[in-house]
Chain A
Amino acid sequence: MPSLSIERIVATAVIILFGCCVLTARSAEHDISGMWLVQDPGSGNFTDWYNNVPKPSLRPEIVKDNEALAAREAAGDVINRAERLASCPFGNLPMMMASSPPLNIVQSRDEVLIGAEANRGRFIYTDGRSHPDIRSADYVATGFGHSIGRWEGDTLVVDTIGFPARVCDSRRPVMVTPGGGRAKETTHLIERFRLSDDGEMLSVTFTWEDPTVLLAPHTYSYKYKRLAGATPIENNDDPSDPAYQQRLLQSVIPPPQK
């Protein structure tokens, strides 16, 4: 049996170090930081765009609930008049990821921050932590849920749970996902973020899972275009502004498109 020379030991150590360097550099190669504008193929209005995804297999009770929501809105009742309480969660992940204001992504060492035009950011923890106990009384649900991510090669895989059961949205009391599903306390979302080879496009594939909502997982993809040198605008809504109050009472149902 050949003896281990110092040279062989050093060579082995260098090979291990080399592998670590390459793996670590991988996250730097795939920096998704920047402003990203979702690419709408031309849906005409936001409602059509929001539902412009492969049709999900919904449970009958969700289909029925969607019909009730549609009937209510068709009758002109387009305001969720539930009281705005301190327990109202903020944020709406599916709406944020579909909205026309660009996403502002900051990818740091152990967390990815995603901001949108309107106020707060969404956090994706990439430091290796696991999800908290979302059934615990200590867990405070938000419309962004709790997201943890990891890199699989060139793809950031994000796992999200912990959505709230109800929301205080100005239109609906539940968080509706594209195609008519729901994001709630039993929902599990998997997203896969991947940059194009030239770094100018970002693809995000969403897979929603919730046996209380869907008969099968619902998958669809968005593409976002990089906006070089752009800066975000700010949501200037002022609840004390009479014009803003009036806007809240106006219909959000778009007129038929010609």
Chain B
Amino acid sequence: MNRHAVFWRVALLIAPLSVFGVFVVWPLLDSFYYSFTDWNGFNPNYRFIGFENFARVVTDRLFTNAILNTVVWMVLALLLPTLGGLALALLLDSYAVRGANVFKSIFYLPICLSAVVVGQIWVWIYQPDWGLLNSFVEAVTGEPETFAWLAKPQSALYSVIVAWSWQQMGLSMVIFLAGLTAVPADLTEAASIEGANGWQKTWHVVLPMLRPATVVVVALSVINSLKGFDILYIMTAGGPFHSSDTLAMFMYNESFKKYKMGYGSAISVILFLLTLAIIFLYFRQLRKLDEIHG
């Protein structure tokens, strides 16, 4: 029986683990290896240059710029979809709203669109001459408006974040809605009997119960913000003047536009370590929640 169990474990695990090992884990280790070289992507001869790539990266102004943009992206991509999703979930949950399922589908629809299509849609919205946004501004102010949202360094990054939030909000909403089903009905009823009004119930009873859902949404937002690439590539490609470069974008440009693969590998290693740190914090937070909620 026992020998059989060993046989079956090996037989069943060998395919998934080797595919995962060869095409995910091994390349990851390989990234560390290349980060110590000056490989340019073509030349089979490359040198080991120790920590030179890392030393250069931390003094690279484009790198610090990318870090700052990633932080801005992280914070805003955390706030906008999370608060928006929470508001939508609370609204949908507050009364027996007619057509709740239709509303949910509408808010959720963007998540099944590709980043390419979402990016394209928002490029049209920000189009300076007849885009939806400027047409709307014109209608409100009565003056012609031709601000080029995506071509100005002061607005490019924020404009992309709004587009990203539009797509992500439905996801936060669904997770919060799932969390709301965990709020026992007798708890809110008891609060009503005690004379609490709608706001008090939401603030003192419902929101504290949503803590686990919030941890999940927050962790997702932070982790996903490190992946922000496709939509940026479509809308601004990191420009103008690197004003919307994130770490992922910066890594791509250095490696596949400038063919500095060794340097790019150093950036990936940093990206990996950053993600690892965030995952570690996330798991620790989850364990804390476990201890509180049992």
Q: Does B bind A?
A: no
